[in-house]
Structure 1
Amino acid sequence: MKRRKELSEEELDLIRNKVTEDEALEKFFKDCCLRNLRPATIEYYKNEFHATKKMLKKDLVDIKQEDIEAFIVRSKTQISITTINTRLRALRAFYNYLKKNKLISTNPMKNIKLLRDRQKVIETLDNQEIEKLITIMRNDRTFVSFRNEVILLVFLDTGIRLSELVGIEVEDVATNHIVIRKTKNLYQRIVYLSERTQEQLRKYLVIRGDVDETNKLFINRDNNELKPHSIQTGFTSYGKRAGISKRVSPHTFRHTMAKRMIMAGADAFTLMTILGHSDMTITKKYVYIWGPDIEKKHKQYSALKGLKF
């Protein structure tokens, strides 16, 4: 029998000394560590790789483009578009690394695009809703409620993330600003405080006092470090008590701060810096979503306003 002109993929893999899945993952995660990626990012990759393997029932190094396509089709009946895209981003990072380092011959993600998703409404809080939350906290008259009021003010004043807030230590606080060290992109930044937040934060520091258990700025009743979950559940509870149908969370406060700054006339570059975005993509999204508000500002401050010709 006459031989084929070209070798099969399996035969080519044999010649190339194809990398095993364990070897590929070890090299990829070593590279993640060398690039000093956050532990949360590395954990995200591990979770998405595990989910992909579980669905496709194949080793990651054996996955082809058609497998990815089948995975997408099947996933659309089971999980959200956002979750699918999150998984695809992880796979793209993995296979791009393998291809770049010549550990695979073909990148199965090369021709795969992220799925288009409908633009979701980003909820923000209005003045009345914010005032309701503050009123409920003040009515409680406890250390926890006052601490949460200060946390709310810091969120709304600075737009910092929950992970950034819980990372703040007492020495990071200055008179009119806070140094944010535990950032998503590893770049420290300074966020500034309004006079109202400065005043309440000064009072909180007096009430907090010096504790031996932790140097974190925000602590629980036992003087230990405050955990993100406690903050999340606390504000969810306040939202229900205030009769607010929207989601009341640190991320909602971040969106609220961004919208209010845009409506007040802040430029995109300033907002990007304050929020700690690595690029303009998300900042532009905010500007686009609240476009009608921007249109009003344009009419109010148009460079042609007042000219007679």
Structure 2
Amino acid sequence: MKRRGQLTEEELMIIRKKVNDTEAFEKFFKDCYLRNLRPATIEYYQNEFHAAKKFSDKQLVDWKQSDIENLILESKKIMKITTINTRLRALRSFYNFLFRNKLISKNPMANIKLLRDRQKTIETFDSKEIEKLISTIRKQKTFVGFRDEVIVLVFLDTGVRLSELVGIEVIDVKENKIIIRKTKNLFERIVYLSETTQEQLKRYIKIRGEIDTNKLFISIDNKPLNPHSIQTRLTRYGKEAEINKRVSPHTFRHTMAKRMIVSGVDAFSLMHLLGHTDITVTKRYVNLWGQDLEQKHKLHGALKGLKL
């Protein structure tokens, strides 16, 4: 049999040094560390890879498009679309890295798209619910209660994420603004405070006093506040106030965004205040609350009051 001059892909794989999952993970996570990705992001990749491997006896480096498709079909039986898409994003990052660095010959994610999901209504609090929540918290008349009130005010006023809030230090508070340093995208930003939040925050800092930690929000034992404990207490307050919505930092963030949009803040300004790197999410907020904007236009449109 006469041999061809060019080797087939299968023949090339025989002579090409092939990596296994352990080697691939080592190279991928080394790249993650070099790019200074957040520990939470690295943990997310680790968890998703571990979960994906349960769907097949093959190593991830040996997966083909059909394996990804099988993962999707099996996952749809037991998972929400958003959860599946979260896993697909992790796998896409992994395979893009391997293919870009010539560690695999074909990218199994090349023709795979995220699953379409219905856009769900984003919950926000109305004024009465906010007042009821604050009133419920104030009934405690304790340091923890006052601290939690200030936390809620900061959430509502600034729209900061939970991870950003626990990272705030006392020196980051500057009169009517707070410098947010522990951000999701590593870019510091400034958020602004209303007079009410400013005054309550000043009182909190005075009661907090000088202690060993620099963190702004602390536990009753003068330790930096744990994110989980904040969410637990918010959930409890929500039940006590009989609010039939999820009382969480993200609901406060959405509420802040809605109230800012309805008040006339433009999407670009809101994008910077919320720390979005892409205006797509911010535009979604604008579209969701279009009816509020329509009503505002009726009241304050450019032609309002003109005798034409």
TM-score normalised to the size of structure 1? 0.95
Match of 2:209 in 1: 209
Q: Secondary structure at the match of 1:178?
A: strand
Letter in 2 for 1:275: L
Match of 1:30 in 2: 30
Shift of 1:121: 1.3
Shift of 1:3: 8.4
Residue 125 of structure 1 pairs with residue 125 of structure 2: yes
- Number of positions where the alignment pairs a residue of Structure 1 with one of Structure 2: 308
Q: Secondary structure at the match of 2:178?
A: strand
Residue 168 of structure 1 pairs with residue 143 of structure 2: no
- Tell me, in whole angstroms, the C-alpha distance in 2 between the residues paired with 1:43 and 1:281: 26
Letter in 2 for 1:178: I
Letter in 2 for 1:50: H
Shift of 1:297: 2.5
Match of 1:150 in 2: 150
- Tell me, in whole angstroms, the C-alpha distance in 1 between the residues paired with 2:83 and 2:241: 31
- Tell me, in whole angstroms, the C-alpha distance in 2 between the residues paired with 1:20 and 1:165: 40
Letter in 2 for 1:255: H
Q: Secondary structure at the match of 1:17?
A: coil
- Tell me, in whole angstroms, the C-alpha distance in 2 between the residues paired with 1:294 and 1:58: 53
Unaligned segments of structure 1, at least 5 residues: none
**Aligned ranges 1:49-68 → 2 under 5 Å:** 49-68=49-68
Q: What whole-Å deviation, never above 9, does each CA across 1:26-58 have from its counterpart, x for those lacking one?
A: 111111111111111011011111111111222
- Tell me, in whole angstroms, the C-alpha distance in 2 between the residues paired with 1:13 and 1:209: 66
Letter in 2 for 1:251: H
Q: What whole-Å deviation, never above 9, does each CA across 1:247-278 have from its counterpart, x for those lacking one?
A: 00111100000000011111000000000001
- Tell me, in whole angstroms, the C-alpha distance in 2 between the residues paired with 1:51 and 1:7: 36
Residue 111 of structure 1 pairs with residue 114 of structure 2: no
Match of 1:292 in 2: 291
Query: Which shows bigger deviation, 221-230 or 20-29?
Result: 20-29
Q: Secondary structure at the match of 2:239?
A: helix
Shift of 1:17: 1.5
Unaligned segments of structure 2, at least 5 residues: none
Shift of 1:10: 4.4
Shift of 1:306: 4.8
- Tell me, in whole angstroms, the C-alpha distance in 2 between the residues paired with 1:72 and 1:4: 39
- Tell me, in whole angstroms, the C-alpha distance in 1 between the residues paired with 2:153 and 2:86: 31
- Tell me, in whole angstroms, the C-alpha distance in 2 between the residues paired with 1:308 and 1:76: 59
Q: Secondary structure at the match of 1:190?
A: strand
Q: Secondary structure at the match of 1:55?
A: coil
- Tell me, in whole angstroms, the C-alpha distance in 2 between the residues paired with 1:104 and 1:305: 63
Residue 251 of structure 1 pairs with residue 255 of structure 2: no
Match of 1:272 in 2: 271
Q: Secondary structure at the match of 1:140?
A: coil
**Aligned ranges 1:94-105 → 2 under 5 Å:** 94-105=94-105
Shift of 1:18: 1.7
Q: What whole-Å deviation, never above 9, does each CA across 1:68-119 have from its counterpart, x for those lacking one?
A: 0011011000111000000000111111111111111100000000000011
- Tell me, in whole angstroms, the C-alpha distance in 2 between the residues paired with 1:278 and 1:134: 31
- Tell me, in whole angstroms, the C-alpha distance in 1 between the residues paired with 2:296 and 2:100: 47
Identity of aligned residues (%): 70
TM-score normalised to the size of structure 2? 0.96
